[in-house]
Every structure is written in structure tokens, then in C-alpha cells.
Chain A
């Protein structure tokens, strides 16, 4: 019995850890979706999320955490394609601005002002034109 507990306990611990790891990520997504709807968080042409004005610590943490996860994915792709992380992020930024910003959400190109997406497509930076949008 003690042996069984010895085996099960670490497994249960692992399961709890996995659940803990997954739950905050989902909670973060919900926080970000809400902030996007509220117009305080938006996509940027550099491939990362940005914050407009001041937000709660929860929102800031969620944005920081997601951007770190994005950078890890960009870094992985960059190393596989022999490109810079910045270029991979910017090309992904073209895609997110083109297809993942809904009407009414905010977005930002370069160091420009935050803008609210209207009914039409976003006017992308010139270099994005090659992506066929």
C-alpha cells in the first residue's frame, strides 16, 4: 500500500501541476479576449500584443506571458528557417493584422497611434504586400 502511494503520489502531483499549468493559460486567454473587446489590448505589426493606456496587473501579466510564449514560438521558427526572430515576428504580425483583428478592436502599426479597426481591411505596412493580402 505504501508502495502504491509512493507511485501514485508523484503522478497525482504531476497531474495537479499540469492542470495548474493549463488553467492559468486559459484564464490568461480569457483576460486578453476581454481586454481586446474593451479596447485596451491589441495586435501590433511587430507580431506581439500591446497595451493601450493603463491596465490592471492581471491584464499586464497576461499580455506579458502571452508575448513570451509567442517569442518562444517565433524563436523556434526562426532557428528552423534561418531567419531572425524579429523578421518571423513581423511576418506573423502581417498575418495577425490581416486576419485576426475584428472590427472594433484596436491595433497598432510600427510606433503609430492605436487605431480602431473599421469595416474594411487594415492598411498593412508596405512589406506585408508580398504576403498577398
Chain B
């Protein structure tokens, strides 16, 4: 009888562990998000300047000998 109760408690505990696991996972992405933000800022700069950079090379081929 006691054994059955214990296993019942175990089954109740399982979703709690999963919930706790979910809480930990929420914290994990914090660092990668920071890194992505930095990359995004740089990519915005690239997007904003890429046509100017292309024009600079096209208009000054002597600066970029091959």
C-alpha cells in the first residue's frame, strides 16, 4: 500500500520536475540573444552601406587592383 502511494507521489513529482526544467530553459537563451543582437546591429550597418561600398569599388577601380 505504501509502495503504491510512493509511486503515486513520484508521478505527481514528474510534471513538477518538467516545470522546473522549463524554468531553467527560459534562462538559457539569455546569452545567445545578447550575441545575436550584436550581430544584428552589424548586419544593419552592412545593409545600409553595402550599395555605397559597391559604388565605391566600381567608381575607384584603381584602389582595388586585381
Contact = CB atoms under 8 A, between A and B. Distances in A.
Contacts, number: 72
User: What secondary structure prevails in chain B residues at the interface with A?
Assistant: helix
Interface residues of B, number: 21
A29 interface: yes
B50 A130 contact: yes
Interface residues of A, number: 30
Interface of B: 39, 42-50, 52-54, 56-57, 60, 62-66
B52 A126 contact: no
29 contacts: A25-B62, A29-B65, A33-B66, A36-B65, A36-B66, A66-B65, A73-B60, A73-B63, A77-B49, A77-B52, A80-B52, A83-B45, A83-B49, A87-B49, A88-B53, A91-B45, A94-B53, A95-B54, A95-B57, A96-B57, A96-B64, A100-B64, A100-B66, A102-B66, A126-B39, A127-B43, A127-B45, A129-B43, A130-B50
